[in-house]
Structure formats: structure tokens, C-alpha cells
Amino acid sequence: MGLELIPISRPAPGSGGLTGTWRTLKPLVDLAKCIDCGICWLYCPEAVIDWEKGKKISIDYAYCKGCGICAHECPVKAIEMAPEET
Amino acid sequence: MRQLASLKTALTGNYAVAYAVKMAKPHVIAAYPITPQTTIVEKLSEFVAKGELRASFVNVESEFSALATVYGASMAGARAFTATSSHGLFYMYEMLWWAAGSRAPIVMAVVTRTVGPPWNIHDEHNDILAIRDSGWAVAMASSVQEAFDLTVQAFRLAEKAYIPVAVGLDGFVLSHTVETLELPPQELVDEFLPPRSPNAPMPLRPGLPLTFGNIPSDDRIHAEHLKRIYWAHQEAKKAIKEIDAEYGKLLGRSYGGLVERRWLEDAKYAVVCMGAWCGDAEAAVESLRREGVPVGLMRLRFIRPFPDEEVAELEAAEKVVVFDRDITPAGGVLGREVASVLGRDKVVDVVAGIAGVDFKASDFKAAFRKALEAEKGVVLI
Amino acid sequence: MLSIPASCASVVQGLGPKSGIGMPLLNVPFASAASVATGIAEAFKQLGVKGRAVVWAGDGGTADIGFAAVSAAAERNSDVLYVMYDNEAYMNTGIQRSSETPKYAWTTTTPAYAGGKKEQKKDVALIMLAHGAPYVATANIAYPQDLYRKLKRAAEIEGFKFIHLFAPCPPGWSFDPSLTVEVARKAVETGYWILWEYDDGVFKLNPPSTIYADKSKRRPLKEYLKLQGRFAHLTDEQIAELEKEIDKRWDTVLKLAKAFGK
């Protein structure tokens, strides 16, 4: 039987679609203010923040839903939630 | 047949099933007691406790969990078995569909029993018939020997077709009645039933990040999956016949596949039935034939997949009398199933023996005559 | 090897044939996860596969519809790591009351105009403790390092492990999503949520809850409640009553820590 017996799913980015398009507020990072602590990376529920000590952070906006947890948790207020332009 | 001796012995139907399961070497057994099933799993727990069977015996808190446990085991690659009856089977209902929809090759014994109220532990087929649309293969034995043989065959079928199989046997009438049977040597059972593949229906193991059962992006994925279960059942008809024939070659007994036929070649009338009472039906048919009535018998061994082609052979008969040991608000289940093949004009559906009421060969004879008078429709005894 | 019953977690995986989960995963019926995981664990044992059976289930699937199976798995000491993420209501169906919904909280089946939920929250972690499970812990999404440590520790233990994970739900509790961690943290700082673990016969508080054993160190409960719309209708008397209930909970936990301390 060439067909799979049952429909099996495999890990892939964007399994929920381009969830970044839901966003109404966009996190903007002031890298000059960023102290490289990784707290935003730790708490991001979508795991869209890349962080490696010494390299500071970057956000994958394709899947960031704009929840604002990173901005709220940032200890130095280096992330600002800006309205998305429509 | 090889020169390996079978053991001629006498067992109850439930113990015959337990011995068959033991010889099938399952990895995981889980069950919850319910009369009249209980002695199957009691015996199996004894085999495990004594070290005669190397398996996990999981004591669960409900039939729902019994099926959920063997489901998890089966999906993880294990050969798994459970058993139940009546209310226990109904308590499993959601899991029955999930297991079939996952193509989990589980084998389950269903010791048939009435469904309450009132409480009644006696024999009736309503319980096992109620799962016929769930995606399980559903079979019924007619003797203690067949309960054994069918259970061994069920593992082969489940693991070939990726359809879970329910093996029915009549409560008390078979489950607690001692009959003689032959237990084949383990070597032959091993040859008939090789270890199952742990890679299907899906390889489920650490390091292989596969997901089953999340929401599909397109409902057509789900629709195709459902159609595949239909096709799997159609293909399973052939597999059932082949497995039964191979079992016969290797172990000395086969039953004819989805149905067993008696005196049908010249039959003007046909009796159709399922389960242990077919023995009494056969005695009645034999007696009628002696009286000169050209009647034959078709015993349904499987009702899922349904033996459409075999039942269609009865086209030549003038009248087909179906005996249902079950009742629904629309009549008997088998009567309607058979009529769906032969048409309502040819079929008389006799509903009898429900709630465990005794029904003997002489009752079959009387009911047969009553059915011929009725010509069609439902006759309630 | 993950089993997930019907829950928000069945949805967040995303849509097949893709999956957002990088682990082997079976989606299973609502009440079945603890039993399915038991079957997986037993199969692995018999087949000689090295792997752990893990359940990730909500409060509905655990404390309510799946409770019999969870209790049985704990009683059998089946080799399962069970994580109940607790968002204190049936969120996947749209915010209906569960046995984990706290007293007076609004849900769509406990309307605010009728006073919210009338009954107390069921303490599932303590019930699991009473089963004699070898490892039981509470956790909170605001303290991921604590959760990580507990998951790692639990994975080392053979038998039934239970982690009760506090997980706020922005729409279900009516607060802005940016406050998710803040709400969870306030739950600990006010003493509403207590971090503890029971491991190998020893019951202990975990930081930062350790300091809140001293009641004077706790923040007023109001600071936790006022962040959430589901408590907007509460009177001061009701808040005082809830604070008293928190004191009682602390009393129990401290007695356990004393009785089963090192």
C-alpha cells in the first residue's frame, strides 16, 4: 500500500499559518538600550525571538502575533509596541 | 499438516479465548471486569503472574481506559488485547471510533450480553451489533473451538488490514460452557502469526517527531482518511478468506471465510443467523430437511466487513429467514442488513432469544414456519 | 512521547499535514490521555524502547472529564509524566467553568451578575500527593527555570509524576496578553499560587514562594485580582474571604512541609 495508513503530520514552521498577519501591535527593539539579558526570548510564547548571548535579539515578524509580553517583561524597556500600519 | 501434536482438551469459551491470546503473545493487556467477560482477563492475569505469558497486564479503572490503554500500546507498536461485554463496550464507545480511525490493530473479545435496564447478564447480540459502524471488524464465533481459532485469526487480520477486530462470543452459552477443543502447538501459532510491525500504522517512537490526529488544514484530508477505512474493509473481505484458508492449511480448521454454508446448494429457503445459537438453528434445519423442506443455512461469521457477496448468493432462494438475537426500534439488525442485499420482499426477520430468553432447536423450527406464513417484515417471538 | 487530549493544546499544534510540535505526538480523546500514556509506557517497556510517556493536558481533561483515568494511573504508579496546564476553565470551548475555576470568578457558565463561581478550586496537586505518587509539583509559567528543573527531575523518576502548571489565559481571564507573565507572577507574589514539590518523600516550598510563607511578605491579593476582568465584580468582603482561603491553603502546605520536610 503506497498510501500512508493514517494522515501523519510533520513538524514545520507556520503550522498555524502566517500568524504574524494577526498582529495589530508590533514590537520594535531599541538595540542600543538592549542589555542582552534574554528575558524576552525566555518568555516569548511563540518562540519567535532569536537570542544568543553577545548577538542581541531578532524577531521573526512572520509569526510574531504582537502579544506584547516581551515589551512588558523587558527590564530596561528596550521594546516598544507600535501600532501596525494598515 | 506438520507432525506437531495438538492438545485435545475441554475449556469454556472464555478460557479458549484466553489461551488463544496467550498463544498470540501480546505485549499489553488491559481490561476492566464485567460479567460474563471477566474470566477471560482473570485467566490472562494468571498467565502473566505465573510467568507463562510475558506481557504487561494493566488493571484499569474503566472500560474506556481499558481501550485507551491498549490503544496507546498498539500505536506504540505493541500487540494488544482487551475484552468486554455490554455496558462495558458502550462505555468504550468514543475510544472505539478513535482506535478504528487510528487504524490501531487491536483485538478485543466481546462476550455478548443484554443491555439494561433492567440489569440482566444473559446473552443477546445488541451490544456487539451496536459497534458495527465504528470501523471495527466484527466477528462472532459459534463454538468454543471457533472462539479460539477466531481469536488467533483476529490478530492476523488486525495486523494485516490495520483494522481493530472485535471477536464476539455468546455470554454464558459459549463463554461459560465447557466444550472440547484442540489447542494447536505454539510453534504452529507462531508460524501463522509472526510478530507485528511496530512501524505501522505509524512509527511512534522517541526521536521521530511525527504527529497524529491534529486538525487538518483541509477537511478533504479527513474525508480521504474516512474513505480509506471503507476501502480497507472491502479489501479485508479477501484477507479474511485467505487467513481462514491459511489457518486451515496450517492448523487444520477453516470455516469458509466470512460465512459458513450448510445445505445451500439446493435450498428453496435459507436461514441466516450469527453466533452460538446457529448450532440449534442447524439442528432445526437438519430436522426440517428430514421432513422434506428444502432449507439451507448461512451462518454469518463476520458482520463487518459485511459479507454482501455471500449473502447475495441467497438470491436463488425463494425466502430468506433471518434470525436476530437483538432488537432495535426498527426491527432486527441482521434482518435489515440482509434485506439491504436481497430486498425486503424476500426477507423475513425473526427477532427471538432477546434478553437471554432460551431458544431451542424446536423453537427455531416453529419460528421458521411462522416466518414463512408472514412472508416478509419482522416477526417478534 | 506526548499524548494530548482535547484542549487548547490540540489547536496550537497547527494544521495537518504540518505540526508545531517537534516531538512524537498522539492526539487522543478528552478523557483518555492518562490511560493512553500508560499503554505507551507499557508498550515501550515490553518492546525495549527507551522513551518516556508524557501527557500535556488542560484542567478540564485532567481534573474533570479525565480525572478517573488520572487517578487510576497515579494509583497504579504507571510510568507517566503528567503535566496539567491549568488555565482555570474550559478555554478551548470558550471559557466555561471547570473544577479548577477559582471561587467568584466569572466564566460564561458562572455569570458575574449571579456572583461568579460558587465553589472553591479543587486542589488537584494535593489530591495527587494523597495518591502516593513519587513526584508531585506545582509550577507557574512566570518561572520557566523552575518548571524546567521540575520537568528534568520528574523525567528521572520511574512511576507517576504530576506537575500542576499555572497558566493564565488572556481572553479567558480578561486581561491584555502583554500581562500574561505579570498575572502569573502576581499569583505567586500574592500567595494565591504556591510553588512546591514533593520528591522522594520530601515536601518543600520552592523559591520564590519560600519567602511568602511569611504572610507579611505577600502582596495584597487585590493586586492579582484587579488585573483580571473575571474578578471585576468582587466586593471587598469577597476579596477578604478569598484571602482567608489563601491563608488556609498556606496553612496546609506549611504543615505538609513540616511533616514531610527533610
Q: Inform me whether the C-beta atom of residue B95 falls under 8 Å from chain C C-beta atoms.
A: yes
- What pLDDT sits at residue A56? 86
**CATH code 3.30.70.20 for A19-83:** yes
Give the separation between CA B32 and CA B41, rounded to whole angstroms. Answer: 8
3-state secondary structure of C55: strand
* B361-376 confidence digits (pLDDT tens): 999 999 999 999 999 9
The CATH architecture assigned to B259-380 reads: 3-Layer(aba) Sandwich (3.40)
Strand ordering across the sheet containing B377-380 = B259-262, B295-300, B269-273, B319-324, B347-351, B377-380
Print burial letters for A8-27: b (CB count within 10 Å at least 16), e (below 16). bbebeeebbeebbeebebbb
pLDDT at A85: 82
B201 touches chain A (CB under 8 A): yes
Distance of CA B103 to the CA centre of its chain: 17
* Averaged pLDDT score across all residues of chain C: 97
Locate the domains of chain A by residue range.
19-83
pLDDT band at A2 (very low <50, low <70, confident <90, very high): very low
What is the rounded CA–CA span in Å between residue C225 and residue C257? 27
Q: How do the domains of chain B map onto residue ranges?
A: 7-251, 259-380
Q: Which of A5, A10, A11 shows the shortest C-beta gap to B162? A: A5
Report, as an integer, the average pLDDT of C14-39: 96
Of the options 1.20.1260.10, 3.50.50.60, 3.30.70.890, 3.40.50.970, the CATH number for the domain spanning B7-251: 3.40.50.970
Output B70 or B2, whichever has higher pLDDT.
B70
Do the beta carbons of residue B81 and residue B26 sit within 8 Å? yes
* Cβ atoms B181, B10 nearer than 8 A: yes
- Nearest by CB: A10 against B162, B210, B225: B210
- Which grid cell sits at C120? 472553591
Query: Which CATH number describes the domain made up of C2-259?
Result: 3.40.50.970
| pLDDT in the model for residue B347 | 98
CA distance A76 to A35: 8
- Amino acid C124 reads V
Check whether B167 has a pLDDT greater than 70. yes
Strand A49-52 relative to strand A56-59, pairing: antiparallel
- Spell out the domain ranges in chain C: 2-259
Q: What is the rounded CA–CA span in Å between residue B168 and residue B109?
A: 6
Element (H, E) at C137: strand C135-140
d(CA B225, CA C25): 19
Are A8 and B102 within 8 A, CB to CB? no
The whole-angstrom separation of Cα B11 and Cα A83 is 78
Residue A30 has pLDDT above 50, yes or no: yes
Q: Mark yes or no for CB contact A45/C180 under 8 Å.
A: yes
Q: Which ipTM was obtained for this model?
A: 0.97
* Closest C-alpha among B46, B63, B173, B194 to residue B121: B173
- Residue C28: left (phi > 0), alpha (psi -120 to 50), or beta? beta
Could C19 and B69 be called an inter-chain contact, meaning their C-beta atoms sit closer than 8 Å?
no
What pLDDT score does B2 carry? 54
| B7-251 shares its CATH topology with B259-380 | yes
Q: Mutate which of A10, A63, A69, A77 to disrupt the C interface (most C C-beta within 10 Å)? A: A69
Q: Tell if the CB–CB gap between B228 and A5 is shorter than 8 Å.
A: yes
What average pLDDT does the segment B199-223 reach?
Answer: 95
| Nearest chain A CA: its distance from C3 CA (Å) | 15
Strands B302-304, B137-140: parallel, antiparallel or unpaired by DSSP? antiparallel
Mean pLDDT calculated for residue range B104-121:
98
Touching check for B103 and chain C: CB below 8 Å? no
- DSSP 3-state assignment of B379? strand
Q: Give SS3 for C238.
A: helix
